[in-house]
Amino acid sequence: MSVKLAVFASGTGSNFDAIVAAVRDGRIDGEVVLLVSDKPGSKAVEKARDYGIDVFAFSPYDYPSKRDYELEIVRELRERGCRFIALAGYMRLLGKTILGAFEGRIVNIHPSLLPAFPGLDAIGQAMSAGVGETGVTVHFVDAGMDTGPVIAQVPVTIEAEDTRADVQRKIQQVEHALYPKTIQTILTKLMKEVPAYE
């Protein structure tokens, strides 16, 4: 039995693409049942609709509080039997409403070797710091900014002549291979722990 999962994205959805491709070619034993986005006009939303995947797109400013919109997200997830969440360029910190409902079942991908360069514009941070290496991290999500337990990391070399676009391309190549593989590893483990998982 495959796991029903949701992807949260705010931007172009390149990692969303990678996850959907991995599901469709059997590298992830799961089904993407929902795309959640805080940017109704984002490319990720367009892509989900093209894929025929349900979308919950919202503006946080339409709700009295974070708890209110997160309660609605949780309802949307539960209506579809979702058991796992992958953040893929979702630019909002999750609150305790979602974290509590899906504890231990939310992962994120970040374009640095955490704990180095957390938060926004990790590639720009790395280049400004003049380091020769950055990378990609997949980690469990907690209440902090990119502070959850690390699951997998892959380094990416920054050459002296690399532009920002060069580094971004290298990182995305790693992300699009690492994230689906790591998600499948976690889903396999979850399915072996059915009582805790359900």
Q: Examine the residue annotation and report whether 139 is marked as an active-site residue of this protein.
A: no
Instruction: Given the residues 39, 83, 105, 110, select the one marked as catalytic.
Output: 110
Is 110 strand, coil or helix? Answer: strand
CB-based contacts of 167: which residues, under 8 Å, 6+ apart?
Answer: 123, 126, 127, 134, 156, 158
Distance CA 153, CA 150 (A): 8
Strand bridging mode 106-110 / 133-140: antiparallel
Task: Kindly state the tokens that stand for 43.
Answer: 């490319």
Sole residue written with tokens 């495959």: 2
Residues forming the active site:
110
